[in-house]
Structure 1
Amino acid sequence: MSITVLGRSERLRHLLPEADSLRISGFQSAAGEWEENAISLDRLVGLGESPIWVVMVDDESLLEFGIYPGDRLIIDRAAECRPGHLVIMDVNGQYEVRRLTHDNQGGRLLLGGHRQARPISYGRDEPLDVCGVVTFVLSYVAQPAM
């Protein structure tokens, strides 16, 4: 396994053009290394920019997409949606996350994240009324200490 400590890569980029290809293969002092290389999560995912929304998943309706209750979704309202993207849209007055895909006739389908969600079909030239594209999913892997 290899990882890239993003804070270090960003700092080195202006000193060494090849910094993007550097990989950390070991840690001499893990605690000091992580603190020194802090990175802004806001900057990484685009928070603070006007077309960005952050929403929290409240239920288990997106489990088939690998998204769990409590996950945060970063939504880019200016991104162009393409097949395979998860999009957020207003369905009967309620926001839902759907996966955009093609149907057998060349049209587009929006699939829900659970089996009870009926697919929404759009013709090839029919405009999609989506609110944005899911660009990141932020999940807890351990509960923070209180």
Structure 2
Amino acid sequence: MNHGGKRIGAGRPKGQGRYGTSTKAVRVPDYLVEDIKDYSLNGGYKVPFFSSMVEAGSPSIAEDHVEEMLDMNSLLIKNPHTTFCVKVTGLSMIDAGIYEGDKLLVDSSITPVEGKIVVAALDGMLTVKRLGYIDKKPYLLPENPNFDPIPILENSEVHIWGVVTNILRSL
């Protein structure tokens, strides 16, 4: 008697399952199972993108034409392996449109250059600020006049975690 292994005629015929096509068994960590199911069932988190423009001035005639389906992952995340999310506390970046409770998408593969908003660890404390220079010396600059620029001193322990690419906020 044969036990185990591939047997001719065994198993469900291709295309007969829930998905109407052949399937493949894949091993994934338990903690990812629900996320993978959600992603699969929602078509990769795609949402309709209407070709109609929304007027921010005087109202215009509305159209009901879906131009395409936008994949929110590819729209917001260019480098999935180097992108992470952090939640903002504090008010030092309000003039840059970053408010308390916002979530920031941060990409660690982008080179932090002058003018970019970065998430940095300064002497073990995390902060979000604009990278800049004052009198040719590096600073972490707030975007709120009520806060002082933070000098990056030679003896400071500074690690730039990444560059902010998107702000996520619920209205």
Residue aligned with 2:119, SS = strand
TM-score by length of structure 1 reads 0.62
Cα separation, 2, equivalents of 1:63 and 1:89: 17
Which residue number in structure 2 is paired with residue 52 of structure 1?
Answer: 83
1:109 paired to 2:142: no
Tell me what 1:20 maps to. none
Letter in 2 for 1:50: H
Q: Structure 1 regions of 5+ residues with no counterpart?
A: 1-5, 9-22
* Structure 2 unaligned spans of 5+: 1-47, 54-60
C-alpha deviation, 1:98, in angstroms = 1.3
Find the residue that maps to 2:114 and give its secondary structure.
Answer: coil
Q: For the Cα contact (< 8 Å) 1:97–1:113, is it kept in 2? A: no
> More helix by proportion, 1 or 2?
1
Q: What is residue 130 of structure 2 aligned with on the other side?
A: 99
SS in 1 for 2:81: coil
Give SS of 1:44's match.
Answer: helix
- Alignment-derived partner of residue 129 in structure 1: 159
Deviation at 1:66?
2.1
**Does structure 2 conserve the Cα–Cα contact (< 8 Å) formed by 1:89 and 1:95?**
yes
Deviates further, 74-83 or 112-121: 112-121
TM-score, normalised via structure 2 length:
0.54
Instruction: Indicate the SS of the match to 1:81.
Output: coil
Alignment-derived partner of residue 19 in structure 1: none
What secondary structure does 2:152 align onto? strand
Structure 2 counterpart of 1:109, one-letter code: Y
Superposed displacement of residue 77, structure 1:
0.6
The CA deviation string for residues 57-114 of structure 1, in whole angstroms up to 9 with x for no partner, is: 233343233211221111001100111111111123221001111222x232211345
Flag the 1:37–1:99 CA change in 2: closer, same or farther, 3 A. Answer: same
Q: Note the 1:1-146 alignment, pairs <5 A.
A: 7=49, 24=52, 27-29=62-64, 33-34=65-66, 37-46=68-77, 49-104=80-135, 106-114=136-144, 115-121=146-152, 129-140=159-170, 142=171
Q: Distance in 1 between matches of 2:158 and 2:69?
A: 39
- 2:122 & 2:88 partners in 1: Cα distance? 16
Larger Rg: 2
Deviation at 1:129, TM superposition (A): 2.5
